[in-house]
Amino acid sequence: MRATSASYSLGKQLHAALRRSIDTARDEAVKVMRFEALESRAELSKHALPLYSFTSPPPSPSPSSLSSSGVALPLTHEFATGSDIDIGGLSTMRFAWDPTERAARFWGTLSSDIPRGAKIERSGYAAFRNKNRPTLFGVQTWDTTMHPYLAIKLRNRRAAAAASQQTEAGTTPAQQNLSQEEGGASSSLRSAADAAFQRGGVPQPSSDPSAILAHAIDALGLNLAQEERPGPRFFVNIQTDGPVTSDLFQHRLFLDPSKLDEWQTVIIPFDSFVLTNTGTVTLSPLTMMREKIRTIGISAVLDVPAIPHSARATTSSSSSSTSSSTKSASGESSPSSSSTKQGPDVLRKRAAAGEEVEGEGEDDWASDGDLRGSASSPVRGSKRGRSFPFDLAIEQVYAVADPNEVD
């Protein structure tokens, strides 16, 4: 029975690869026949590059399910999903097409609790990405060299509920942002998004580790840890068809808090993404291979990527002085910021007893499956026992040449 199932699965994979190969050959032939291959760079950049869209329901083996009201259709045929529940955690997630939204939904609950006896280090993550698309000519990738900006149309379905809770507590998001600005804090969510966009809008490649780290702090929102409330943080993750499969380009998915649960389009320059490896920021001048983007996905995590150990001393001294001066002005004591400096990592494989983990350097997503976790001894986190719901609706992911092209 298992052999039959394995043969059937292999047959489906080969059929899909053959279909993609035929589609690729057909598209290239059409381009040549229409002289599209000779188009100028300006012409190629006039149109948006669709990456994937959820405006239509996915193919379903049961057509009758489309007529059923409120039935969410799974998207696991073309997308890989993962959460810490796969390695012993308690977080839950679903990724499916919602007929009421006419879009994909990425929702669930992030839990920082570690079950007794579980061999995991930390918990609290969930993610999805498109699966690898092998063909007879190699892995199918996207070429975004003519489209320097990534655009994602989505909405935070829980933003209005969170805002109403803050209102009941006597603080609105607008008042919270206003108080931060009046107090001189420049790292609010909105200003952090603007800073990250401005840095990426005019790329300035640098081999200076301090400059790379400064950019990473803005792009990943590492400077927001002291101001943000505990809860899900969303990241966009990109894998390229490069030689190191564990390399991951990440950027914080900054949502406009003023739009609450309305639809919004988030624009991120590709050159603003930060290179990470197994969950730690890499202070390397290596840039993204934008001509060979293999996968794009979104993750919801409770902790941000980690800062390299060699860079923590500098970050610690600067953040401590800033924090102490701010707290002393308000009469508050300065809390420990060890979690901010180290950025507890939920997507990183660590070694047990200081030894290298077998398979280190492999794709964190495994082979079109779940995220790999840690097999080291359990470590009780500071937010142990807390859970946070999240719910995103995603309509479209595409690349554009100019941010003004976005509606």
Q: What local confidence, expressed as pLDDT, does residue 350 receive?
A: 35
Is 243 exposed, middle or buried (CB count within 10 Å of its CB: 0-12, 13-18, 19+)? Answer: exposed
* Residue 233 β-bridge partners: 301
Q: What local confidence, expressed as pLDDT, does residue 223 receive?
A: 85
3-state SS of 15-56?
A: HHHHHHHHHHHHHHHHHHHCCHHHCCHHHHCCCCEEEEECCC
pTM of this structure: 0.72
Asked if residue 99 lies in contact with residue 67, where contact means CB atoms within 8 angstroms, the answer is no
Q: What local confidence, expressed as pLDDT, does residue 289 receive?
A: 94
Closest residue by Cα to residue 220 from 144, 147, 290, 301? 301
Dist. CA 192–CA 249, nearest whole Å: 18
Each residue's pLDDT, cut to its tens digit, for the chain (407 residues) gives 555 555 656 666 665 656 655 665 555 554 555 555 545 556 656 789 999 999 999 876 555 544 444 577 888 889 999 999 988 899 999 999 999 999 999 999 999 988 887 777 778 999 999 999 887 877 899 999 999 999 999 999 999 877 666 655 555 544 444 333 333 333 455 666 665 555 544 445 667 889 999 999 999 999 887 778 889 999 999 999 988 888 999 999 999 989 999 999 999 999 999 999 988 999 988 899 999 999 999 999 998 898 887 666 555 544 444 444 444 444 443 333 333 334 434 333 333 333 333 333 334 444 444 444 444 444 444 445 789 999 999 999 999 999 988 87
Instruction: Measure CA 159 to chain center.
Output: 18
Element of type H or E holding 73: strand 73-74
Q: Would you kindly state where each structural domain of the chain is located, as residue ranges? A: 1-38, 51-327+339-405
Q: What local confidence, expressed as pLDDT, does residue 365 receive?
A: 47
Which residue reads 């507890």 in tokens?
344
Closest residue by Cα to residue 135 from 219, 44, 20, 296? 20
3-class secondary structure, 142? strand
Q: What local confidence, expressed as pLDDT, does residue 11 receive?
A: 62
Dist. CA 100–CA 182, nearest whole Å: 41
